[in-house]
């Protein structure tokens, strides 16, 4: 019996050890799971950190490239720089200042401060012009208050003392001549702005200075539709120029604005009617004048009874309005015809 008791007591003790080991194993499993969770969190945090580091490094490289390029990366496309002003030809100052203003406006986000803007303006000056502002530059820093102060110095040194009077005299001699409107009109407008005159006076001067073909097309515009503001009138002039170039791209080369011998010549287009003969007669015989599609397209009006008769015959044969040459209506219903205006027809 004693041996049995000892065996049972040993078995009971061993069971206690086994239970203790199981409890220890369970605790170890729990700790392992906790460590595994912490490891996963650490790996996730490290991954996020690596991504952030990569992003910051990319941004740093981008900033470094901007610095190395001297700030050449801008939001707006580069506008052409003005041609350097030397002061040798003072008449170039207005054009230089205009180009400078355009550059500063079109690329205004290129400079972060007024000193930077002034530094750019000074870099556009050479020779005598630079000498006029060099007194206010020290250690590479421009000490003027702003860009306008630099422009005022240039105006005082090279500008016209009485620009208004000079412009008023010059505008009388300005004519388009045999130049394209795209060349003449900007030059004329630059002078016109300095005269101080109102739109009515400037419109009269511009009309007088234009090529005969343009003034002819302007004469076809109804009085009530004629612009009274200079900028709107200039838009109309450009439209007339475009119409003239559609008929003849080099129309402006075929005549000048010199006073014509014939007082009515300035009201006629430079394109002459096509005069033909049927039996070899004199091509200048107006009794056999013809009128065709080219004459209709040019927009000109007949100048002789023979041309009027030829135009009437052409319009009748092709079903066109005898007044405006439209194929949408007849002359009886033409709203632009003077007989309908007099009668007050709608």
Does 97 have pLDDT greater than 80? yes
Look at the pTM and tell me if it is higher than 0.75: no
pLDDT in tens, 3-20: 777 788 788 788 888 888
State the average pLDDT for the chain. 80
Q: pLDDT class for 94, splitting at 50, 70, 90?
A: confident
pLDDT in tens, 193-213: 889 999 999 999 999 999 999
Q: pLDDT class for 260, splitting at 50, 70, 90?
A: very low
Q: pLDDT class for 289, splitting at 50, 70, 90?
A: low
Share of the chain above pLDDT 90, in %: 32
- State the SS3 of 84-113: CECCCCHHHHHHHHHHHHHHHHHCHHHCCC
Q: How far is 242 from 253, CA to CA, in rounded Å?
A: 15
DSSP strand pairing (137-138 vs 141-142): antiparallel
pLDDT in tens, 148-167: 999 999 988 998 777 788 88
Tokens of 183: 């060349």
pLDDT value at position 273? 40
pLDDT value at position 343? 46
Q: Phi-psi bin for 53: left (phi > 0), alpha (psi -120 to 50), beta?
A: alpha
């Amino acid at each position: 019996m004693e041996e049995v008791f000892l065996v049972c007591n040993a078995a009971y003790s061993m069971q206690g050890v086994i239970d203790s080991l199981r409890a220890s194993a369970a605790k170890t499993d729990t700790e392992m799971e906790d460590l595994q969770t912490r490891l996963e969190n650490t790996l996730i945090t490290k991954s996020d950190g690596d991504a952030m580091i990569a992003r910051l490094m990319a941004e740093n490289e981008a900033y470094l490239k901007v610095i190395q390029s001297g700030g050449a990366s801008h939001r707006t496309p580069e506008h052409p720089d003005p041609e350097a002003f030397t002061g040798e030809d003072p008449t170039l100052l207005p054009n230089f200042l205009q180009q400078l203003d355009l550059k500063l406006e079109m690329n205004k986000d290129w400079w972060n401060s007024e000193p930077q803007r002034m530094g750019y303006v000074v870099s556009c000056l050479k020779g005598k012009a630079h000498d006029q502002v060099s007194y206010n530059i020290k250690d590479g820093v421009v000490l003027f208050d702003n860009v306008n102060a630099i422009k005022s110095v240039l105006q005082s040194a090279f500008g016209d003392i009485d620009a208004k009077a000079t412009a008023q005299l010059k505008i009388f001699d300005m004519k388009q001549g045999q130049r394209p409107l795209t060349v003449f009109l900007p030059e004329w407008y630059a002078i016109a702005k300095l005269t101080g005159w109102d739109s009515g006076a400037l419109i009269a001067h511009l009309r007088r200075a234009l090529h005969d073909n343009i003034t002819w097309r302007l004469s076809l515009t109804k009085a009530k539709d004629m612009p009274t503001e200079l900028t709107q009138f200039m838009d109309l002039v450009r439209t007339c120029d475009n119409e003239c170039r559609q008929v003849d791209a080099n129309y402006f080369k075929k005549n000048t604005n010199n006073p014509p011998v014939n007082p009515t010549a300035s009201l006629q287009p430079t394109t002459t009617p096509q005069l033909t003969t049927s039996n070899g007669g004199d091509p200048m015989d107006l009794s056999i004048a013809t009128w065709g599609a080219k004459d209709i397209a040019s927009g000109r009006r007949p100048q002789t009874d023979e041309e009027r008769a030829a135009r009437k015959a052409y319009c009748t044969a092709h079903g066109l309005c005898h007044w405006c040459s439209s194929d949408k209506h007849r002359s009886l219903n033409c709203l632009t015809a003077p007989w309908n205006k007099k009668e007050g027809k709608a």
